[in-house]
């Protein structure tokens, strides 16, 4: 299926979305094209609040600082990640969403440790495995890409119990022109959890700027508010990876076309910069990646590298130009250094104003065992792959 064949129609308003599904042979089929979507930008439904107790906790970082405050209570910690370790590696990942410290007391078996009571929503990040015989619970505060160690504990009361998934948030397709597969589904409506499609988001030039998975169970179909032969459809399941409403300005900027100037991501906060990186993951494929280029010198503008997302925006811009993709966190960045993304080591990277990143990321630690800051970890990774880094 050629996107260009379906990105235009003879109406007084543009096509902004294509609904596409792959058949059993992996061939893309057009299901419809739409003028608008309501419910595309949605914050995740927060999990219900619960009370949990971290037992025998030896706090570190932010958690240690909070406990040191006199009479502390009801202090917000943000999201707290709990990694459940066996003897060798983590086997479960949980997130305590918007955790609040409610109370704490010395642990009965060791007064240097604490029992800490938190209020939080609970989200399981990975498939549930059997609890190890002697688990260890590592604690982190922050995002997956930029988590800082918060210590460890010997148990978490209230963590291991069954929970009901929140109800799916629907999505409205507005001004939709159905293709034959969608017309057939409307004539014979049926529900199947396996019926999923991709909603392709087009920029004003008709180029795909992003895609999101949506369910094809249709709750309601009606004549469109646009009139004519168009229809408006309600999808029961709009997908769980929709962007936040806070990302609308970034998507509106990218709707005009991929950025052509450097540092357009810089005015946004960490959440906005992460949303910017989301869009670069699709943009690197359009046009198709060029053969890897090695050698030469690249210049990284470090003036705005104040968080992990900003670091990866700046590195990608230095190596490939505005709006391009070269990883969005440590593991993805490592993959890109291995080749296939337009630039491959060896080369020289001159990092201007590098002290800004060094200070801003000093407390961000990816691997507590190594004890390196995120800045130091990235430096070590670059050097390991044969990149000569010159700090200015």
Asked if 171 and 76 count as a contact pair (C-beta separation under 8 A), the reply is no
- Evaluate if residue 77 carries a pLDDT over 80: yes
Confidence category of residue 211, pLDDT binned at 50, 70, 90: very high
Question: Of 240, 234, 270, 265, which is closest to residue 251 (Cα–Cα)?
Answer: 265
- pLDDT band of 300, cuts 50, 70, 90: very high
Q: Which of 31-35, 191-195, 319-323, 388-392 has the lowest mean pLDDT?
A: 191-195
Helices (H), the chain: 61-68, 180-187, 248-255, 270-283, 308-320, 330-337, 354-360, 374-384
Query: What's the average model confidence in pLDDT over 190-198?
Result: 70
Element (H, E) at 78: strand 75-85
pLDDT for 65 equals 86
Tens digits of per-residue pLDDT, 275-287? 999 999 875 554 5
- Residue 64: what pLDDT? 87
Lowest mean pLDDT: which of 26-30, 289-293, 309-313?
289-293
pLDDT digits (tens, 9 = 90+) for 229-257: 999 999 988 988 899 999 999 999 999 99
Question: Considering only 66-70, 152-156, 203-207, 286-290, which range has the smallest mean pLDDT?
Answer: 286-290
Q: Please say whether the beta carbons of 50 and 71 come within 8 A.
A: no
What CATH number belongs to 259-391? 3.30.370.10
Per the listing, tokens 């630690």 go with 365
Listed residue (358, 353, 352, 356) closest to 379, CA to CA: 358
Tens digit of each residue's pLDDT (9 = 90 or more) over 321-368: 999 999 999 999 999 999 999 999 999 999 999 999 999 999 887 776
Please choose, from the candidates 257, 392, 280, the residue with its C-alpha nearest in 3D space to the C-alpha of residue 336.
Answer: 280
CA-CA distance, 73 to 66, in Å (whole number)? 9
pLDDT for 74 beyond 90: no
Q: Do residues 357 and 302 make contact, with C-beta atoms less than 8 angstroms apart?
A: yes
Residue 220's contacts (CB-CB under 8 Å, 6 or more residues apart) are: 233, 234
Residue 190 tokens read as 């049926």
Residue 97 has pLDDT above 90, yes or no: yes
Average pLDDT estimate for 48-65: 92
Q: How far apart are CA 38 and CA 54, in angstroms?
A: 41
Dist. CA 165–CA 51, nearest whole Å: 18
- Determine the pLDDT at residue 364: 85
- The tokens for 193 are 């959890």
Q: Is the pTM of this model over 0.85?
A: no
Q: Containing H/E element for 110?
A: strand 110-124
The phi-psi region of residue 185 (left if phi > 0; otherwise alpha if psi is between -120 and 50; otherwise beta) is: alpha
How many residues are there in the chain?
392
HSE (CB half, 13 Å, CA atoms) of 294?
Answer: 11
Q: Which of 61-65, 68-72, 127-131, 308-312 has the highest mean pLDDT?
A: 308-312
Give me the residue spans of the domains in the chain.
Answer: 3-40+172-242, 49-157, 259-391
Average pLDDT score over residue span 25-42:
93
Greatest alpha-carbon pair distance for the chain in Å reads: 75
Query: Sorting pLDDT into bands at 50, 70 and 90, what band is 37?
Result: very high
What pLDDT score does 282 carry? Answer: 76
Element (DSSP H or E) covering residue 149: strand 147-153
Judge whether residue 193 has pLDDT over 50.
no
Q: How much is the average pLDDT of 151-168?
A: 89
Q: Which of 178-192, 233-247, 305-319 has the lowest mean pLDDT?
A: 178-192
Residue at token pair 């044969």: 386
**Token pair for residue 83?**
């990694």
pLDDT over 80 (residue 145): no
């Amino acid at each position: 299926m050629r996107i260009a064949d379906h990105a235009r129609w003879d109406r007084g308003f543009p096509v902004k979305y294509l609904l596409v599904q792959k058949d059993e042979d992996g061939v893309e089929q057009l299901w419809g094209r739409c003028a608008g979507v309501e419910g595309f930008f949605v914050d995740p439904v927060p999990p219900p609040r619960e009370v949990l107790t971290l037992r025998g906790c030896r706090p570190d970082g932010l958690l240690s600082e909070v406990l040191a405050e006199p009479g502390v209570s009801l202090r917000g910690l943000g999201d707290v990640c709990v990694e459940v370790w066996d003897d060798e590696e983590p086997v479960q990942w949980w997130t305590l969403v918007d955790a609040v410290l409610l109370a704490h007391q010395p642990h009965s078996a060791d007064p240097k440790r604490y029992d800490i009571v938190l209020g939080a929503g609970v989200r399981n990040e990975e498939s549930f495995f059997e609890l190890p015989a002697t688990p260890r619970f590592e604690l982190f505060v922050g995002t997956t890409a930029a988590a800082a160690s918060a210590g460890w504990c010997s148990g978490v009361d209230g963590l291991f119990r069954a929970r009901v998934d929140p109800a799916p948030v629907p999505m409205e397709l507005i001004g939709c022109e159905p293709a034959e597969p969608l017309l057939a589904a409307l004539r014979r409506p049926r529900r199947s959890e396996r019926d999923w499609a991709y909603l392709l988001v087009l920029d004003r030039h008709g180029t795909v700027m992003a895609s999101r998975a949506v369910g094809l169970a249709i709750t309601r179909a009606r004549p469109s508010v646009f009139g004519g032969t168009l229809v408006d459809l309600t999808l029961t399941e709009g997908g769980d990876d929709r962007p936040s409403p806070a990302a609308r300005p970034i998507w509106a900027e990218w709707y005009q076309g991929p950025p052509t100037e450097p540092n357009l991501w810089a005015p946004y906060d960490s959440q906005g910069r992460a949303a910017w990186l989301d869009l670069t993951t699709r943009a690197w494929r359009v046009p198709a990646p060029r053969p890897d280029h090695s050698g030469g010198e690249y210049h990284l503008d470090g003036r705005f590298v104040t968080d992990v997302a900003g670091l990866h925006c700046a590195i990608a811009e230095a190596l490939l130009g505005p709006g391009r993709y070269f990883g969005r966190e440590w593991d993805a960045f490592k993959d890109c250094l291995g080749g296939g993304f337009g630039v491959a080591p060896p080369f020289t990277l001159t990092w201007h104003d590098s002290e800004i990143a060094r200070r801003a990321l000093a407390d961000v630690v990816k691997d507590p065992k190594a004890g390196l800051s995120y800045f130091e970890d990235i430096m070590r990774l670059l050097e390991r792959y044969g990149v000569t880094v010159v700090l200015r």
